[in-house]
Amino acid sequence: DADVTQTPRNRITKTGKRIMLECSQTKGHDRMYWYRQDPGLGLRLIYYSFDVKDINKGEISDGYSVSRQAQAKFSLSLESAIPNQTALYFCATWDTSNYGYTFGSGTRLTVV
Amino acid sequence: ELKVEQNPLFLSMQEGKNYTIYCNYSTTSDRLYWYRQDPGKSLESLFVLLSNGAVKQEGRLMASLDTKARLSTLHITAAVHDLSATYFCAVDGIGTSGSRLTFGEGTQLTVNP
């Protein structure tokens, strides 16, 4: 099983719909992140969490919300999806013992 | 605000040739990461550079970090087609807000026969 699992892998949704992207990890890492990737751009940070009670906005948090339900689970919600939120979304964790980040396989979201 | 710039953004090279990708960043940090991404795939970790002067090599790729110049390089030696991918550098914004990565725009590398 992958260390960081994202569901769904692909999703097409309509403008105005609420959608949740889920991320779970098996490594016991406290720190989890949500990034967005647009074509020709690097990844941009949406939200991050250093533990269950800690949630922080990244550089592009508008239009998104998150929930850290447990150490292993970090969900990203689009309350009312719009077409410019069409992108590839990645969840990641950070290992404090070796400073390494582990990325999930990504969720390709299309808003029509 | 931490900014990370890579150049070139597009690189087309012939097999067997050498080239260097540059990553400049705007504020103090001593943790820098290099990733590879194939089309439609996730990020594969290549190197983690944790101190000034750090140099790491894996196969045909070698990465270095100069924290005083705020510069990292990814050197490709004798390129082969399998190295075709997009390469990202990312800087860890250590500080009161803790660890989080800021990415460069990526360098799309194409190695031609």
In chain A (112 residues long), the average pLDDT of successive 10-residue segments reads 90 97 95 93 93 93 96 96 97 89 96 97
Q: Which of A13, A29, A18 is nearest to A74 (CA)?
A: A29
- Among chain A residues, CA nearest to B30: A99
A43 to chain B, closest Cα gap in Å: 6
Percentage of residues in chain B having pLDDT higher than 70: 96
DSSP annotation of A31 reads E
Residue pair A19/A77 in contact (Cβ under 8 Å)? The answer is yes
pLDDT score recorded for residue B74 = 98
- B28 Cβ neighbours under 8 A, 6+ residues apart: B67, B70
| pLDDT value at residue A95 | 86
Nearest Cα to B22, choosing from B79, B112, B104, B110? B104
Q: Kindly state the tokens that stand for A46.
A: 């949406």
Q: How far apart are CA A10 and CA B29, in angstroms?
A: 35
Q: Which of B33, B105, B106 sits opposite A101 (nearest CB)?
A: B33
**Among the partner residues B42, B98, B106, nearest to A106 by beta-carbon distance:** B42
Torsion angle, alpha carbons of A13, A93, B46, B100, to 10: 90
> Tokens 């990645």 correspond to what residue?
A90
A92 and A30 Cβ atoms separated by less than 8 Å = no
With 0-12 / 13-18 / 19 or more C-beta atoms within 10 angstroms meaning exposed / middle / buried, residue B82 is: exposed
Mean pLDDT, rounded, of chain B? 92
Two tokens, residue A5: 């699992």
Q: Lowest-confidence range among A25-39, A56-70, B19-33, B95-109?
A: B95-109
Partner-chain contact B104 A42, CB within 8 Å:
yes
Chain A positions in Cβ-Cβ contact with residue B4 (cut-off 8 Å): 42
Q: Give the whole-angstrom CA distance, residue B30 versus residue B52.
A: 7
Q: Inter-chain contact A101–B50, Cβ cutoff 8 Å? A: no
Nearest to A42 among B40, B45, B88 (CB): B88
- Tracing tokens 């990465």 back to the chain, one arrives at B63
- Condensed to tens digits (0 to 9), the pLDDT of residues B48-67 reads 998 888 999 999 999 999 99
